[in-house]
């Protein structure tokens, strides 16, 4: 019969719609309410111990079932005893007291053999036999699998695993030794590289500081030259990082004479230097400025008198197209730069006297006068540096000399302006 065709076991009518069905080896309980305080307490306590209520109820039913079966066994024993007494009573009457004594003993043995609560019952003996057999089987299996000889079916497997583990450990140790050597070599290379990089960074930083220092001086000089050029109608270009006609970069500032109002009438190249140069190196810079910038006159501007090249002097012309002027590093004197600028401008235009119809004698006289005034200015400045007590009088003399130099340069500019007007 199919499980769906098995009859259900309905409860009494006063239980409502509750139902209990036994289907094959399963017990299905639907909407059943049990009024038992002890059972409810047990379920709650087990739930607090993280055991699901359904599992607790299932165990309670299983235990109860075992108890009911035990009660049935006891009832069967009582029934057998009663039947034996009933059947053997007639025999007892015939055989007398012998049967009576045997009857009691037989009943007792039957009861003890089938009583599950007694240690010597059939059920208990079977249980003990099974436990003993299982323990023996477990001990034999443990002995067999722990044996080191061929009796152990896993002996070859264990030996293979041990060999593989040992081989793996040996390989790992060898690899660790090689890795350690490589790491030590890499560490040494990294240390050497860091030392080289550190030295390079220090060198670059030092060079950067030196370059920045020189660049600051270069920019201050250019700013003054730009002001001087603008006042005279010229144009000053800062071209220190740009290659010139011969691909060189000498001559950081190039002045185009007259370019603010018309075509360029000549070029002057200024090259500021923040460090001292030898005389050959100074001439290399001056000649390079003339060639790289296509200039007619070159001026080397050095920071302080200490940086004037050996065997040369500040504000002294050389070879008719070169001049060296020393100014303060942090605050270049405008009057000194302006004097050097005026001489260079006059010389550059004088080189074109045939084209501009300049009054050459007057121009030469103005330039010579300006040079004499500048020489006196230089002498006075040297005296001012050495003798501070007479500063007031020397400053007055300097002012007079500067005015004379400016007046001479103004006459030279006037002659140049007249020549330019005649040319146009």
Model confidence over 67-98: pLDDT tens digits? 777 666 666 666 666 766 776 676 556 555 55
pLDDT in tens, 324-358: 999 999 889 888 898 889 888 888 887 776 555 55
Q: What percentage of the chain reaches a pLDDT higher than 70?
A: 64
State the Cα angle at 400 between 396 and 405, rounded to 5°: 145
As a whole number of Å, the CA-based R_g of the chain is 62
The bridge status of strand 9-10 relative to strand 19-23 is antiparallel
Question: Which residues, listed in sequence order, are joined to residue 21 by a DSSP beta bridge?
Answer: 28
pLDDT at 210: 46
Neighbours of 56 (CB within 10 A): 18
Q: pLDDT value at position 223? A: 93
Between 6-15, 42-51, 171-180, the lowest mean confidence (pLDDT) is in 6-15
Most confident of 137-141, 183-187, 355-359: 183-187
pTM of this prediction? 0.42
Q: What are phi and psi of 304, to 5 degrees?
A: 80, 155
Q: Does the pLDDT at position 5 exceed 60?
A: no
């Amino acid at each position: 019969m199919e499980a769906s065709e098995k009859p259900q076991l309905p409860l009494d009518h006063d239980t409502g719609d509750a139902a209990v069905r036994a289907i094959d080896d399963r017990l299905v309980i639907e909407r059943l309410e049990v009024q038992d305080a002890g059972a409810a307490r047990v379920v709650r306590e087990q739930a607090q111990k993280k055991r699901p209520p359904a599992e607790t109820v299932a165990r309670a039913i299983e235990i109860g079932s075992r108890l009911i079966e035990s009660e049935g066994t006891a009832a069967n024993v009582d029934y057998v005893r009663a039947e034996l007494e009933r059947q053997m009573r007639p025999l007892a009457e015939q055989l007398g007291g012998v049967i009576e004594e045997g009857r009691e003993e037989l009943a007792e043995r039957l009861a003890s053999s089938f009583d599950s609560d007694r240690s010597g019952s059939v059920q208990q003996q079977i249980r003990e036999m099974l436990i003993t057999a299982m323990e023996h089987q477990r001990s034999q299996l443990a002995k067999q699998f722990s044996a080191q000889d061929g009796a152990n079916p896993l002996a070859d497997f264990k030996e293979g695993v041990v060999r593989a583990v040992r081989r793996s450990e040996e390989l790992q140790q060898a690899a660790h030794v090689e890795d350690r050597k490589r790491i030590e070599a890499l560490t040494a290379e990294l240390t050497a590289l860091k030392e080289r990089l550190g030295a390079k960074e220090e060198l670059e930083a030092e060079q950067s500081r030196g370059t920045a220092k020189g660049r600051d001086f270069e920019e201050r000089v250019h700013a003054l030259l730009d002001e001087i050029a603008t006042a005279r109608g010229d144009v000053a270009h800062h071209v220190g990082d740009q290659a010139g006609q011969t691909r060189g970069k000498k001559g950081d500032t190039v002045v185009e004479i007259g370019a603010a109002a018309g075509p360029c009438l000549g070029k002057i190249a200024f090259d500021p230097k923040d460090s001292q140069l030898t005389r050959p190196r100074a001439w290399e810079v001056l000649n390079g400025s003339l060639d790289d910038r296509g200039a007619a006159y070159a001026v080397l501007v050095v920071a302080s008198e200490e940086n004037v090249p050996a065997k040369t002097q500040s504000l002294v012309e050389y070879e008719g197209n070169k001049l060296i002027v020393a100014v303060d590093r942090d605050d270049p004197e405008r009057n000194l730069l302006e004097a050097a600028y005026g001489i260079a401008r006059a010389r550059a235009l004088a080189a074109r006297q045939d084209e501009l119809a300049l009054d050459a004698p007057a121009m030469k006289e103005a330039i010579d006068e300006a040079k004499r005034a500048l020489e006196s200015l230089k002498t006075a400045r040297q005296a001012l540096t050495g003798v501070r007590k007479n500063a007031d009088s020397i400053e007055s003399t300097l002012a007079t000399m500067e005015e004379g130099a400016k007046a001479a340069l103004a006459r030279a500019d006037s002659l140049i302006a007249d020549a330019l007007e005649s040319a146009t």
